[in-house]
Amino acid sequence: LEDQLRQSQKMEAMGQLTGGLAHDFNNMLAIIMGNLNLLKRRIERGEGRLETYVQQALDGGARAATLTHRLLAFARKQPLSPEAIDCNRLVPGMSEILRRTLGERVRVETVLAGGLWTTRADANQLENALLNLAVNARDAMPEGGHLTIETANAHLDDAYAQAHPGIPAGQYVLIAVSDTGSGMSQEIATRAFDPFFTTKAVGQGTGLGLSQVYGFVRQTGGHVKIYTEAGRGTSVKIYLPRLVGSEAAPAQSGTVGAKIPE
């Protein structure tokens, strides 16, 4: 199971990162160009104290360079097969594989919202993403603990969208995966989505789990965010866009979860 998971993590991360990171790369270029433009204008006017703009442009450039190098090392396209998904069916459909993956020391609880909206995503890859998060949660709780998977309807408002460039305000289906494990330092949390970033021993971690989650979510038009506190635990929130219109209604009959016996 671990080998299979690692292999599929690799495959999916390879393909999906391209879209998501190209988008982030554009944001970094915007920082660089924005600061250079400000700098140019101030220079033309002969104003002083220009170091901040230069430093911000350099920081943006350095971060972009790091990411492209990591990305180019293994990027490859993989098509998604999106379909209408009722996450309140998909999540319970994973109970057996979660139990097997997490072992006896981790208690799994699911909290499913009533009247949950439909989303549109590649079901296999969504299951894979949730499995990646569960494996991370398990690894963060060597002594055991609680894993909670929660679904909810979520509105991301304008203020939230402004604070998260590239994420449009609107209606999303939220899946939150929370653990009572070690949590992360701020430094680790900011790098956790980077491809190949891992704090685990060689052979234990690939550093591709969260990259895969990130790539998948971005390619699906969604948003993923880590809330973590060292020593307390971690909550990873995945926001997938709400599917509206005629396709949204028959989602109940979806085949999601069918390959995993309940």
What's phi and psi for 198, nearest 5 deg?
A: -145, 150
CB closer to ligand ADP, 14 vs 210: 210
Residue 197 interacting with ligand ADP (CB under 6 A): yes
CB closer to ligand ADP, 169 vs 188: 188
User: Interface mask (CB under 6 A) for ligand ADP, residues 51-90, using x and -?
Assistant: ----------------------------------------
CB closer to ligand ADP, 87 vs 129: 129
Residue 206 interacting with ligand ADP (CB under 6 A): yes
List Cβ<8 Å contacts ≥24 apart for 218-224.
218/16, 218/19, 218/20, 218/21, 218/23, 219/16, 219/19, 219/20, 219/80, 220/80, 220/82, 220/120, 220/121, 220/122, 220/126, 222/121, 222/172, 223/156, 223/164, 223/167, 223/172, 224/193
**From the CB of 10, what's the least distance to ligand ADP, in Å?**
10
User: Interface mask (CB under 6 A) for ligand ADP, residues 14-53, using x and -?
Assistant: ----------------------------------------
**Full strand arrangement of the beta sheet holding 223-229:** 106-111, 145-156, 170-179, 233-241, 223-229
Residue 188 interacting with ligand ADP (CB under 6 A): yes
Residue 199 interacting with ligand ADP (CB under 6 A): yes
**From the CB of 15, what's the least distance to ligand ADP, in Å?**
16
Residue 220 interacting with ligand ADP (CB under 6 A): no
Alpha helices in the chain (DSSP H): 2-45, 51-72, 87-90, 95-102, 123-140, 158-163, 186-191, 209-219
Contact footprint for ligand ADP (CB under 6 A): 132, 136-137, 140, 179, 181-184, 188, 192, 197-200, 205-211, 234
